[in-house]
Every structure is written in structure tokens, then in C-alpha cells.
């Protein structure tokens, strides 16, 4: 290796394409958020030793990356300005905006490859970190498999924004979500509602959309704004105070850690109760809206088994109780809300299906709770979860009936079973049995056999989504009450329901959407 090669950091390496000669080395150099003093020592070393310094810019030719590294550039550096042909999606390129950019990246990569083939070391400058929304990554994807490459990480704008705000981003088990502001508003809203803390990048023209998403997700009061962190013209403020017409591309929105908040959240104008459906089991079936409501609540009220599914958060109060005191739970939640607390009532499945929404609304319709705001958030139902595991047994019209006679007499249940079965509806049977209550399943089987063939598929779905999940399909005539408990839901097919054994040995159950004409 020559002295000049050692100085430039060029390894003595041969390529498969050109075994007789060595190539240059490609560097992706992270420069940090803007302040030159935040460049790493390694970044400065690489720039100093490079033969070629490349940087991206808009058509005006001014490169922020070059300005950050300017004091480290030598007069004899070969500079490659990689000038974007477009900066908005308006273009007459035959391939559209994406086609114009792909052509530009290919051309830029070819220019850098020519230097690398000539044995020159190339440093591609990148604001922030090269592989975090950085322009360098498009060169990396096209060149790193052909040339020796090293990426020098840099301080991201996210870290710089948090430092300038003096606010932690995430603590303990909190989840930090990083979002591009270019996402559709609905997607931004859902992700902001679901996460603990967030940073939204790429503001500029997307700011009105981001602001609406913050408002719709209930995060606007927490959100902060940082513009040009560590650079001249830096600005920080509450997001709600920012004029959209003044927002540049180099700005971010930050929803910081709730746990480590340096100032308490603004007090609620008035309390409210949100009834949250957690689905049939763990967090995989929890909707973003429900996840956000649980995180934002000051008090959680619910059956202890369902409360245990919700992560413990510092500052939240949990009010667990037995599963047979729905009215008392509802009254407790409404009392807390009357005192200005944000309360989430935790319900399994969907709160409006044999669950807590009815109990809360019933109490809320009485004095002194009529003025307390109540919202109900949907959840995945046990019936839908079990049906999805089995295939599509509820693919046509179906009825949902609880076999529990604790709140209604058996005669009513029997009448409804007869009606639904005679109408040839598929059935989802909730609360079919318990250790002390077996006869209802046997009686339901007897009633259904008056209208259904003995080989009608019945799905026994237990603890779907949980650690003891099991799923079996049996003929209606063979339905065994001893195989059923309170954690089981029964799905009974109609006369059209099919149970098919597939080539891999699994069985799928489905009900056709078409019904034969009479």
C-alpha cells in the first residue's frame, strides 16, 4: 500500500470485476443535525483523507451538508455536487416523480463509481445520520455491494430536537415512534394515538396534515415543535402555536415521554369515561385508538383479569374488581370522571357485545351522571377472532346469543335459539357453560338438532389469542358439554357451512356468501 493510499484510507483490495487493480473506498459520512461542532471525530477524519467529497443539493446549488463540513474541506478536494432535478412531485419526466429520482440516483451513482474505479476514496456527506432518511442511502443501495464501504453514523435531528427541548423522548417501557409527515392523515392519526411518544419528520408543506392528526389523536397539548435544531434560526415552541406558513422542511414535531415529562399535562377541561375494548386476548388485537385511550387515562377501571392485560404506567391508578359487579364499576368510573378524571373502563372483546358498554351507559343515563361524557371504542369480538382462526364460518348471515341465564330466563334463550336455527342462521354462542353450568350446552344442542343435520360443523374455540388457545371442529351431534367452559365460544354452522380438509392436513370451515334459491 502506497503512502498516498494510506493517507487516503484506501485499502489494498481487488474486485472480482478488476482483479488487477484496487478500487477506492466509499464512505457515507453523517454530519449531525447542523452544528459543525456536533460532527464526530471519525467523520472529520474521513473527510480529511477523502479524495472526493460528494453532497446533495436542490437546484439552487446550496448544500446544507457542504456548509456543515466546509471548514474541513481542502482546496484539492474533488467536489461532486449531486443536484436533484426536482424537489416537488411536479415533473414532466415520463416516469413521473419517482422515475425522475430513480434516473438521478442512477446517474449520481455512476459518477461516484467512476471515481471509485479510478482508486479514489469518496466521502458522501449526509446531514444527520446517513441511513436515517438520508440521501446517501440511495448511493449505498447502488454501490455498497460493489465497493468497500463504511458508514459513519451521525447525531440525528431527533436527538438534537430532544436536546434542544430538554425533554426525554422515552423512558422505561415507553415506545418511541418515528413517522414521516408525508403519511396519510388517517395513518398518522392512528399511529400517534397508539404510541407513547413520537417524532414526526419532514414537516414543511405537510404541517397542516400533521397538526390535524395531532388534534384528532388527542396529542396536540403534548406536542412540541423544533425548527433547525442546532442551526442558525433555531426555533422551539408548542406545536399548537405555530403558523403553518412559517414551517420549513427542516423541522420536526415531538410528542415527548409522558413518564419523564418535565411539566404536568394540562388539566382536563372536564372528565370523561372511555369504554375500551381490548379484544379477546393480548395486544395484537388492540386497536390504535384503544391503545391510545388506555395510555392517556389517569384511571383504569375494570375486571382484574382484563386490567392485567394493560401495561402498568407510572401515575395511573388502577381499580380492579370481580367480574360480577358491572354496575358498581360503571358508577365508580363515572364518579371519577365527575371529579375531572380521565377514566378508561377496560372491557374484553368488544365492549358493546355482552360487555361493559351497556353497564356504563345504563348508569350514565341516570342522575347525577347524565352530563358526564362517555365514549365507546370498539374491539375485536371473541366471535370474529374465533371465526378468523377457523376460516370464515360467519361468512353469511349469523346470530349472536349468550347461553347464560344469569341475566335473562332460559325460556327467552330457547325461543331465540329456535328462531335463529329455523331461519338457518349460523350462530355464535357466548357464555356456553362453566364448571357448575353444563346443562345449557346439552339443551342448546338438543334444540339445534331439531333444525340442523347431525353433521353440522360446530367450532369449539377456547382462549383464542391466549396461551392456552385451542380450536376444534366437531359434528353438532357429537358436541360434548364437558369440553366447554366460560373461556370457550361455540360457532355453529348453517345448513350451507362447509368443513374442508386441505392438502396440508388442516381443516377450514366456511359459510358461502351465496344462498340457494328456494
Report residue 379 as a C-alpha cell.
374491539
76 and 110 share one domain: yes
The domain boundary residue, chosen from 205, 225, 255: 255
pTM over 0.85, yes/no: no
CATH label of the domain that carries residue 314: 3.40.1010.10
Q: Are residues 442 and 468 in the same domain?
A: yes
Q: 264 lies in a domain?
A: no
Q: Are residues 306 and 372 in the same domain?
A: yes
One domain, residues 216 and 350: no
Based on the structure, what is the number of domains in the chain?
Answer: 4
Residue 296 is predicted with a pLDDT of 85
Q: Verify that 424 and 315 share a domain, yes or no.
A: no
- Comparing 386-390, 455-459, 513-517, the range with the smallest average pLDDT is 513-517
Residue 262 within any structural domain of the chain: no
Cell for 203?
A: 414537516
Neighbours of 11 (CB within 10 A): 15
The pLDDT value recorded for residue 267 is 59
* Whether residue 124 is found in the same domain as residue 179: no
Q: Is residue 453 part of a domain?
A: yes
Domain holding 184, by residue range, is 159-255
Burial 419-436 (b: 16+ CB within 10 A, else e): ebbeeebbbbbbbbbeee
Q: Is 83 helix (H, G, I), strand (E, B) or coil?
A: strand
Helix, strand and coil in the chain, % to nearest 5? 35, 25, 45
Cell 358498554 sits on residue: 357
Q: Are residues 372 and 392 in the same domain?
A: no
- pLDDT (tens digit per residue) in 440-463: 999 999 999 999 999 999 999 999
* Residue written as grid cell 463509481: 113
Same-domain status, 486 and 417:
yes
Confidence class of residue 9 from pLDDT cuts 50, 70 and 90?
very low
Longest dimension (CA), the chain: 97
Q: Does any domain span residue 263?
A: no
Query: Rounded to an integer, what distance in angstroms lies between the CA atom of residue 163 and that of residue 369?
Result: 45
How far apart are the C-alpha atoms of 58 and 127, rounded to whole Å? 14
**Do residues 150 and 187 share a domain?**
no
- Whether residue 50 is contained in a domain is answered as yes
d(CA 207, CA 273): 31
Omega within 30 of 0 (cis) for the link into 368: yes
How does pLDDT run across 117-170, given as a tens digit for each residue?
999 999 999 999 999 999 999 999 999 999 999 999 999 999 999 999 999 999
Grid coordinates representing 191 are: 399511529
Q: How many residues does the chain have?
A: 518
Strands in 308-397 per DSSP E: 317-321, 342-347, 374-377, 391-392
The CA distance from 124 to 114, in Å, is: 14
Residues 188 and 179: beta-carbon distance below 8 Å: yes
* Residue ending a domain, choose from 206, 229, 255: 255
For residue 480, what is the domain's CATH number?
3.30.950.10
d(CA 501, CA 509): 9
C-alpha–C-alpha distance, residues 441 and 405, integer Å: 12
In whole angstroms, what is the distance from residue 154 CA to residue 131 CA?
9
Tell me: the pLDDT tens digits for 197-243? 999 999 999 999 999 999 999 899 999 999 999 999 999 999 999 99
* Domain identity same for 336 and 371: yes
Q: What is the DSSP letter of 284?
A: G
Shared domain check, 120 and 71:
yes
Whether 132 is covered by a domain: the verdict is yes
| Position 266 in a domain | no
**Do 201 and 276 reside in the same domain of the chain?**
no
Q: Is residue 209 part of a domain?
A: yes
For residue 101, give Cα distances in angstroms to 27, 83, 95, 128, 141.
Answer: 22, 11, 9, 21, 14
Amino acid at each position: 500500500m502506497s503512502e498516498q493510499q494510506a493517507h487516503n484510507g484506501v485499502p489494498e483490495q481487488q474486485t472480482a470485476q478488476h482483479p488487477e487493480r484496487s478500487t477506492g473506498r466509499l464512505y457515507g459520512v453523517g454530519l449531525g443535525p447542523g452544528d459543525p461542532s456536533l460532527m464526530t471525530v471519525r467523520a472529520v477524519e474521513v473527510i480529511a483523507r477523502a479524495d472526493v467529497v460528494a453532497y446533495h443539493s436542490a437546484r439552487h446549488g446550496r448544500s446544507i451538508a457542504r456548509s456543515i463540513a466546509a471548514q474541513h474541506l481542502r482546496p484539492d478536494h474533488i467536489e461532486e455536487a449531486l443536484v436533484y432535478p426536482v424537489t416537488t412531485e411536479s415533473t414532466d419526466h415520463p416516469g413521473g416523480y419517482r422515475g425522475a429520482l430513480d434516473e438521478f440516483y442512477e446517474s449520481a451513482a455512476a459518477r461516484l463509481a467512476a471515481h471509485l474505479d479510478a482508486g479514489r476514496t469518496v466521502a458522501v456527506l449526509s446531514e444527520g445520520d446517513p441511513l436515517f432518511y438520508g440521501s446517501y442511502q440511495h448511493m449505498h443501495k447502488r454501490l455498497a455491494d460493489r465497493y468497500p464501504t463504511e458508514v459513519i453514523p451521525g447525531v440525528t435531528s431527533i436527538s438534537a430536537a430532544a436536546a434542544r427541548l430538554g425533554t426525554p423522548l422515552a423512558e422505561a417501557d415507553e415506545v418511541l415512534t418515528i413517522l414521516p409527515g408525508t403519511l396519510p392523515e388517517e395513518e398518522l392519526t392512528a399511529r400517534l394515538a397508539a404510541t407513547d411518544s413520537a417524532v414526526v419528520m419532514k414537516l414543511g408543506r405537510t404541517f397542516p396534515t400533521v397538526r390535524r392528526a395531532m388534534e384528532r389523536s388527542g396529542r396536540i397539548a403534548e406536542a412540541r415543535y423544533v425548527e433547525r435544531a442546532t442551526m442558525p434560526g433555531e426555533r422551539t415552541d408548542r406545536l399548537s402555536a405555530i403558523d403553518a406558513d412559517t414551517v420549513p422542511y427542516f423541522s420536526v414535531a415531538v410528542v415527548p415521554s409522558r413518564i419523564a415529562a418535565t411539566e404536568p399535562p394540562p388539566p382536563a377541561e372536564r372528565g370523561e369515561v372511555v369504554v375500551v375494548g381490548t379484544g379477546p386476548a393480548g395486544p395484537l388485537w388492540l386497536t390504535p385508538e384503544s391503545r391510545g385511550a388506555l395510555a392517556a387515562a389517569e384511571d383504569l377501571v375494570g375486571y382484574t383479569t382484563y386490567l392485567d392485560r394493560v401495561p402498568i404506567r407510572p401515575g395511573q391508578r388502577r381499580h380492579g374488581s370481580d367480574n360480577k359487579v358491572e354496575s358498581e364499576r360503571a358508577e365508580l368510573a363515572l364518579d371519577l370522571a365527575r371529579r375531572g378524571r380521565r377514566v378508561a373502563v377496560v372491557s374484553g372483546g368488544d365492549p358493546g357485545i355482552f360487555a361493559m358498554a351497556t353497564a356504563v351507559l345504563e348508569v350514565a343515563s341516570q342522575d347525577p351522571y347524565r352530563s358526564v361524557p362517555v365514549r365507546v371504542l370498539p374491539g375485536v369480538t371473541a366471535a370474529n377472532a374465533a371465526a378468523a382462526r377457523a376460516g370464515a364460518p360467519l361468512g353469511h348471515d349469523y346470530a349472536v346469543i349468550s347461553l347464560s341465564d344469569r341475566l335473562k330466563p332460559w325460556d327467552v334463550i330457547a325461543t331465540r335459539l329456535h328462531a335463529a336455527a329455523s331461519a338457518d342462521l349460523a350462530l355464535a354462542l357466548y357464555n356456553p357453560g362453566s364448571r357448575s353450568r353444563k346443562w345449557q350446552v346439552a339443551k342448546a344442542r338438543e334444540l339445534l338438532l331439531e333444525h340442523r343435520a347431525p353433521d353440522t360443523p360446530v367450532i369449539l374455540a377456547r382462549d383464542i389469542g391466549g396461551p392456552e388457545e385451542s380450536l376444534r371442529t366437531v359434528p353438532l351431534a357429537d358436541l360434548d358439554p364437558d369440553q366447554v367452559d366460560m373461556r370457550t365460544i361455540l360457532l355453529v354452522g348453517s345448513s350451507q357451512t362447509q368443513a374442508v380438509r386441505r392438502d396440508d392436513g388442516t381443516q377450514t370451515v366456511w359459510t358461502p356468501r351465496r344462498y340457494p334459491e328456494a
